[in-house]
Structures are given as C-alpha cells and as structure tokens.
Amino acid sequence: MKLYKPKRPGGLTTKRIETLVREGKEGRWGDRRGHGLILGLKRTADGRVSASWIQRVAHKGKVYQRGLGPLWQVSLSEARQKAAGNWLRIKGRDNPFRSVSKAPIFAEVVEQAIAHHRHKWSPKTERQFRAQFKTYVLPAIGTVPVDQIEAADLCRFLAPLNETKARTEKLVRQRIGLCMKFAVMQGFRKDDPTAVLASVLGSNGGTVEHHAALPHSEMSGALERIRGSRERTVVRLALEFLVLTAARSGEVRGMTWDEIDGETWTVPAARIKANWEHRVPLSRQAGEVLEQARKLTRGELVLPSSVGKPLQDRILSESVRKLGLSCTVHGFRSSFRDWCGETGQRREVAEACLAHTVGNATEQAYARSDLLNRRRELMQKWADYLSQ
C-alpha cells in the first residue's frame, strides 16, 4: 500500500490554499501530511474556481480515488481527518475504496449543476441553495458517488425534515432533483431518485401558506403611511412604486432607466419569474414616483442603494415591518388581486397585470396579446382607488 503522488506535491496550509484559489491556479496539489490527500482546482464555465478534496492511494496493485467533498464545505483539517480515517481502515483490511465508482461524488455534481443554472438565478437564490445543501444535504450524501445514491438514502434525512419543516423539505427535495437531473444529463446516472419520494413524503400541497396581505380597503392608508415615513427617500419611493404597479420586489429593485419608455416599463425576461419580457403600464401616480426618483439618482438604476447597487430585499421588508404594516412586500400584489376580484375586473386582465399565465397550454398558445391597453386602464383605476 502506498500513496499516490500528484504531479505537484507540497505541504498545504490554509494560507497557501487561499493563495491558490485566489490566483485560480488549476491542477492537483498534494498534501504531504494528508495520507494521499489532494486538492483539485479547476475553472468552471463562468470563470469561477472550483476546489474539491480527493484522496488517492495505491493498494494491492490498484490505484483508488475517492472524493472527500468541496473546499467550501470541508476544511483542510477535516479533509486530513477523513483521509487518515480511510487510511486506517485500509490497513485494517476494511477498504473504503473497494466499491469505487467512476461517477463524481454528489458534492461535485452540485457545483457543476449550480454553474450550469447560475445564469438563470438571482444571487439570493444561489445563497439559499448553498445554505440549504450545507445544512441538510451534503453532510449526509455529499461524499457519496452520485450514481450510488438511492431514494432510501434521501429519505433518511428528508423524512425528519418533512415532519418539522415541510415547506423547506419540499424545496430541498426539488433542488436535489435538479442536481440529479443534471447528473442524468451528464451520463453519471440513469434516473432521478427524488421522483418516487412524493408518494412517501407527500407533495406538501395540502396546506399553502400565503404571504401576509392587507385588505385592499386599508391599502390607501398604508400608502399614506409609507409616504409620510422617515425612511430613506429611495426606500419610500420603492415601496410606493411597488404598491402602485403590483410588481415583484426584485423587478423594481433592479429597474433601470433604459427600461422606461414614456408610460410603459418593460421588464426583461431575465428578471421575470415566468422568464418572458413583461410590459408594465404606468399610471399617472407611478410616473410621478419616477419623476421624484429622477431628481435623486444619476446612475443606471432607478432606485439604487447608497452605494449605487440594487436595494436589498431585506431593506424593504424591514421598512414595512417598522411602519407597523401587518403584511409583506409581496402581499401588496395580493391586495391588488383581491381588489380586482371584488370589483369585478376581468380575470385575464388582472392576471396579466401580475405577469401570471392564464389557462391551459392551448389557450396560452392562442393568447398572443398582452392586453396592454386594458391593463393600462386597470392600473390607473387601482392608482385612483388608492388616492381616494
């Protein structure tokens, strides 16, 4: 039994690893003290550096390799402990490398899947994805070859989570499925083991928790409270604009001046949940908000933070809480939709204002108009109602 020596041997330290990652030096870097421990560095398609731990040893004439997890999850000391544990098991004839898979470990597939889908996500989505996997998923299956993960392996940690945090479990399960489908696409495995879990864990569709919203009759008072608050002007304008347009927070926070054309705001597909371009008719009152914003900002963003970047979502949420409003920012959209329903507005027009799809696939295929003129009338009625 002997160590496999990489082409670039040398002692690894935390400082040296930080330097290698910062400089983006691709290759395999060996650790003299790590029982065949290697740090592999490579660049992803988007230019970022992916770093993961590998243990490679020669045993009875064969070279074995096993992944020990990504660097962001497993520290140098933890990787050394894992490698030392495997080394002792080999000496005790309990070879952990006996069933060696050619497929990458699940943690490596997660990194590849994130790199593949990142262009469609917001930074917040990626942060949530990584945080959930670090807490619930990778400790259980992160170092297991992706083709050896079965539904039973997932059920061991998803079932307890389902009992305490059903909504979180559903989202984690969906994201595991996304990684498994990516593995299937890459030829690492032949199926998605999360497909059978709905029958065991349930679809979690029985109870839906909606965003807290105010009755539409209270929205006029809420708007006055926003306008008269001591919040920063850009925050007040952002909240007022959200109420008047019934748009999503991310769409407004990322709004740029080149998206505004007279009385219409065109949100690009990249910032729309449904992934299509959406035209938002601006009421007279919404236009007045933009006129105020024009006097405050000179950059590309309409409503930037103090450092010129998009406002953070939590800033708006905290402002709503400090104002004593018993709703969420997203709840503004619900109040608008309730008003539409109770005042007899056409359903397809109301849903189009919210950038929702209506009807089945056939109906959608023939519904080519975005009803802009009818939506313009409706949004002006909504703004006038709030001004009463």
Q: Name the residue ranges covered by the structural domains of the chain.
A: 2-98, 108-201, 216-387
Place of tokens 């064969």: 62
Which residue type, as a one-letter code, is found at position 231?
A: E
- In Å, the largest CA–CA distance within the chain is 84
The CATH code of domain 216-387 reads 1.10.443.10
Structure token pair of residue 372: 């802009």
SS3 at position 187: coil
Element at 370 (helix H, strand E): none
* Residue 211 pLDDT: 61
pLDDT digits (tens, 9 = 90+) for 307-333: 888 998 889 999 999 999 989 998 999
* Residue 90 pLDDT: 67
Q: Determine phi and psi for 327, rounding to 5 degrees.
A: -155, 175
pLDDT tens-place values along the chain, 388 residues long: 444 444 444 578 888 888 888 888 788 888 876 678 888 888 766 677 788 888 887 766 666 677 788 887 888 888 888 888 877 776 665 555 555 567 889 999 999 999 998 888 888 889 999 999 999 999 889 888 898 888 888 988 898 888 888 888 999 999 999 999 999 999 899 889 998 887 777 655 444 455 678 999 999 999 999 999 999 999 999 999 999 999 999 899 999 999 999 999 999 887 777 677 889 999 999 999 999 999 887 789 999 998 888 998 889 999 999 999 989 998 999 999 999 999 999 999 999 999 886 654 434 443 445 789 999 999 999 999 998 8
What would be the CATH architecture of the domain defined by 108-201? Orthogonal Bundle (1.10)
Residue 11 per-residue DSSP state: -
Strands 27-30 and 37-43: antiparallel
Axis-axis angle for helices 233-245, 284-296 (nearest 10): 160
The CATH code of domain 2-98 reads 3.30.160.390
Q: Determine phi and psi for 91, rounding to 5 degrees.
A: -65, -30
Q: Determine phi and psi for 145, rounding to 5 degrees.
A: -55, 135
Q: How far apart are CA 65 and CA 55, in angstroms?
A: 6
Beta partners for residue 40, in sequence order: 28, 52
Burial string for 55-91 (b: 16+ CB within 10 Å, else e) reads bbbeeeeeebebbbbbbebbebeebbebbeebbeebe
